[in-house]
């Protein structure tokens, strides 16, 4: 039986996911906010035929602890708006998809909808967005519109605020999708005879009334090339898995081993079915931090050196894989059997571990028939095997 090719996404953030990554010899720590740095990373990802890159973001300074700010001066701090980074880089590429992170807790769906639609225009059909909630009180004070209590670690994934924010995120995605559909594809008619630029019968008010907000519509940006850009979300627990099941085309989960991967896939599939979307394609990708070298010992030594410089052993919400590209290929093939359709690889250091993915892992997977040997589509939906959706407002 021919194996099913898997999908690969690279997760880009700063100098890489290891806190000492910026101190590596090939790091460019003074260029992390410059366009050229991101252009080069995207070119590398595209040379490796990856489906897409994600670009991390938040509306607060990075900190070692995900829930509270810190005052460390030995870590990368400061970041650019991920949607704008993606937009700056997209015209320099031809096939790579872009999944910038957008915080949906303190922003307006109307603004994000037109921004992602526009990213789809400037990339000619390669846009998506990874939606993220922000429960930290120090992020809320940047906006002053609502107050959050300190995050309770014990119930960080289950507390009432978390449920509220993820429910709100689901409403938010519903508004994004309705706004993307609020113009039918052929609404622009330019009928010189009647003087009408658009057919107003093909523009639709979305009239969304939710618990958190209401939006009238239609969008000011016409329906984007993909119809619906790809919506992604990362989840570590039931409440976020529910968001993936209800709202996403692509879910990122964080398995610890193949059995855990199977459990997480099942959990997402149950939420997907509960949301009445069992027939729809929802990808579930496994997230892994990767420390890769041609020899396993080299990778282990490099991680040890990075840990020493960071002053602490590196841990992550995702499994940290240390070894060779061939060993990683074994693991990916194994976990794929558990039901994952792809992986989001988080390079521990940039550009080193990204190059190990594109120049080591990808050829290895290709040899095994597990990865594409050329881009087979011009859109992100096409690369992910997602069809272009019909417009919910269009009636034949």
Partner 1 sequence: MTTQIRKQIHLAAHFPGVNNTTVWSDPASGSHVEFASFREFAQIAERGKLDFLFLAEGLRLREQNDRIYDLDVVGRPDTFTVLAALAAVTERIGLTGTINSTFNEPYEVARQFASLDHLSDGRAAWNVVTSWDAFTGENFRRGGFLAQADRYDRAKSFLQTALELFDSWRGDEVLADADSGTFLTDPHPGAFGHRDRFFDISGHFDVPRSPQGRPVVFQAGDSDEGRDFAAASADVIFSRHSTLEAGQAFYTDVKGRLPRFGRTREELLIMPAATFVLGDTEAEARDLAHEVRMAQVSPATAIAFLEQLWNRDLSDHDPDGPLPSVDPLVGEHTIAKGRASVRMHRDPVATADEWRAKAEVEGLTTRELIVEVTGRQSFIGTPAAVAATIDEYVQADASDGFVLAPHITPGGLGPFVDQVVPLLQERGVFRADYEGTTLREHLGLPLRRTDGESAVAS
Q: Which of 54, 87, 349, 358 binds partner 1 (CB under 8 A)?
A: 87
Residues 190-209 that bind partner 1 (CB under 8 A): 190, 192, 194-200, 203
Closest approach of Cβ 123 to partner 1, in Å? 8
**Considering the rule CB under 8 A, would residue 214 count as an interface residue with partner 1?**
yes
Q: Which has the closest alpha carbon to 357: 97, 127, 49?
A: 49
Q: Which is nearer to partner 1, 147 or 279 (CB)?
A: 147
Q: Which is nearer to partner 1, 8 or 119 (CB)?
A: 119
Residue whose structure tokens are 């509960």: 274
Closest approach of Cβ 100 to partner 1, in Å? 10
Segment interacting with partner 1, rule: CB under 8 A, options 48-56, 106-114, 350-358, 370-378? 106-114
Q: Where are the beta strands (DSSP E) in the chain?
A: 7-12, 52-55, 97-103, 128-132, 188-191, 196-198, 208-209, 214-215, 230-234, 250-253, 283-292, 319-323, 342-347
Q: Which has the closest alpha carbon to 125: 377, 394, 372?
A: 377
**Considering the rule CB under 8 A, would residue 80 count as an interface residue with partner 1?**
yes
CA 187 from centre of chain = 30
- Site mask for partner 1 (CB under 8 A), range 16-55, x = bound: ----x-xxx--x-xx--xxx---x----------------
Cα 354-358-362 angle, rounded to 5 deg: 135
Which residues lie closer than 8 Å to 379 by C-beta, 6 or more apart?
124, 125, 126, 225, 226, 388
Q: Which of 64, 68, 94, 143 binds partner 1 (CB under 8 A)?
A: 143
Q: Which of 3, 66, 74, 274 binds partner 1 (CB under 8 A)?
A: 74
Q: Which is nearer to partner 1, 199 or 270 (CB)?
A: 199
**Considering the rule CB under 8 A, would residue 92 count as an interface residue with partner 1?**
yes
Q: Which has the closest alpha carbon to 255: 165, 320, 207, 159?
A: 320
């Amino acid at each position: 039986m021919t194996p099913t090719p898997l999908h690969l996404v690279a997760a880009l953030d700063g100098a890489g996911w290891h806190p000492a990554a910026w101190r590596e010899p090939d790091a460019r720590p003074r260029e992390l906010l410059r366009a050229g740095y991101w252009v080069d990373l995207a070119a590398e990802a595209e040379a490796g035929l990856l489906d897409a890159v994600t670009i991390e973001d938040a509306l607060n300074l990075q900190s070692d602890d995900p829930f509270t700010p810190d005052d460390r001066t030995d870590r990368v701090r400061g970041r650019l708006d991920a949607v704008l980074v993606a937009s700056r880089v997209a015209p320099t590429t031809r096939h790579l998809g872009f999944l910038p992170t957008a915080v949906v807790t303190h922003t307006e769906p109307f603004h994000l909808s037109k921004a992602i639609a526009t990213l789809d225009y400037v990339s000619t059909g390669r846009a998506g967005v990874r939606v993220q909630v922000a429960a930290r009180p120090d992020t809320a004070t940047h906006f002053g519109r609502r107050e959050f209590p300190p995050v309770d670690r014990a119930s960080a994934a289950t507390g009432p605020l978390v449920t509220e924010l993820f429910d709100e995120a689901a409403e938010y995605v519903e508004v994004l999708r309705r706004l993307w559909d609020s113009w039918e594809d052929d609404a622009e008619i330019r009928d010189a005879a009647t003087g009408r630029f658009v057919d107003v019968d093909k523009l639709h008010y979305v009239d969304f009334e939710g618990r958190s907000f209401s939006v009238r519509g239609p969008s000011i940006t016409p329906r984007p090339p993909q119809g619906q850009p790809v919506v992604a979300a990362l989840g570590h627990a039931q409440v976020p898995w529910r968001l993936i099941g209800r709202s996403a085309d692509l879910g990122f989960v964080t398995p610890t081993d193949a059995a855990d991967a199977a459990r997480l896939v099942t959990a997402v599939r149950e939420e997907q079915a509960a949301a009445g979307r069992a027939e729809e394609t929802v990808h579930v990708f496994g997230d892994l931090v990767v420390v890769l070298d041609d020899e396993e010992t080299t990778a282990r030594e490099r991680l040890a050196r990075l840990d020493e410089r960071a002053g602490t052993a590196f841990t992550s919400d995702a499994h940290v894989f240390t070894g060779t590209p061939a060993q990683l290929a074994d693991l990916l093939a194994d976990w794929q059997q558990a039901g994952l359709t792809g992986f989001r690889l988080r390079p521990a250091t940039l550009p080193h571990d990204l190059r190990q993915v594109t120049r080591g892992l990808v050829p290895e997977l290709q040899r095994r028939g597990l990865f594409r040997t050329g881009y087979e589509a011009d859109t992100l939906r096409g690369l992910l095997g997602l069809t272009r959706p019909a417009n919910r407002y269009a009636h034949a």
